[in-house]
Amino acid sequence: MKILLVEDEKQIADFAKKGLTEQGFLVEHCAHGDEALGLMLSQPYDAVVLDIMLPGRDGLSILKQFRKKGHGTPVILLTARSELDERIEGLNTGADDYLTKPFYVEELAARLHAVRRRASDEGVSLLRSGEVTINLITREVKSAGVVVKLTAREFSLLEYLMRSPGRVYTRTQMIEHVWGYDFDPNTNLVDVHIQRLRKKLGGDGAFIETIRGVGYRVRKEGE
């Protein structure tokens, strides 16, 4: 799950980023409100953790602009215990949940999974291409009815491709979404993981097609 963490207190940000990363989240961090809004409007995230008190644009203003432009990505607000009015305003503005500081990173991770599950329940919880299925709620992958064990990165990569069958993704797009911007775009990580996916999915792995000179795509039903 790709998360944007918006928090200007370095100690809290470092603690949350480290803890979430250890639990398999891909975490991007920024500490300024204006930068955060730009990222939220331009980059695909599975969820956003948003502090209310920020330099530049504050968290509630960011949330209002984000929802006003029609974005439905789940947002969890980080608040101080004394900010009851702001928590209420945040929920009324479109926040999916809130967490008061200080917090346990395990609780933040659980709430992220919960808001993600709710978003999946409201949308698509089961992705299918040929004989391969992904259950986004249970994170179970099956190929021809047989459960396939994937690593967190392999699951994220397969989910990313299967969300838009027929769409061609470049290696850079896949690295940015699954591994983050810190990775060298010239690395062969994508090709190695595609090979692993194809091997684990057996004969059904052929539905992941190589588009020479561009990247990869998942074949549409009926093709």
Give residue-wise pLDDT tens across range 79-131.
Answer: 876 667 777 777 888 889 988 888 889 899 999 988 887 776 655 567 888 78
Query: In terms of pLDDT, which residue wins out, 161 or 82?
Result: 161
Q: What is the pLDDT of residue 188?
A: 86
Entry pTM:
0.63
Q: What is the pLDDT of residue 118?
A: 77
Q: What is the pLDDT of residue 24?
A: 80
Query: In terms of pLDDT, which residue wins out, 97 or 179?
Result: 97
Give residue-wise pLDDT tens across range 15-61.
Answer: 999 999 888 888 999 999 999 999 999 888 889 999 999 999 999 99
Q: Is the torsion defined by CA of 51, 54, 57, 58 positive or negative? A: positive
Q: What is the pLDDT of residue 221?
A: 66
C-alpha distance from residue 102 to each of 53, 67, 83, 150, 157 (Å) = 14, 27, 13, 34, 33
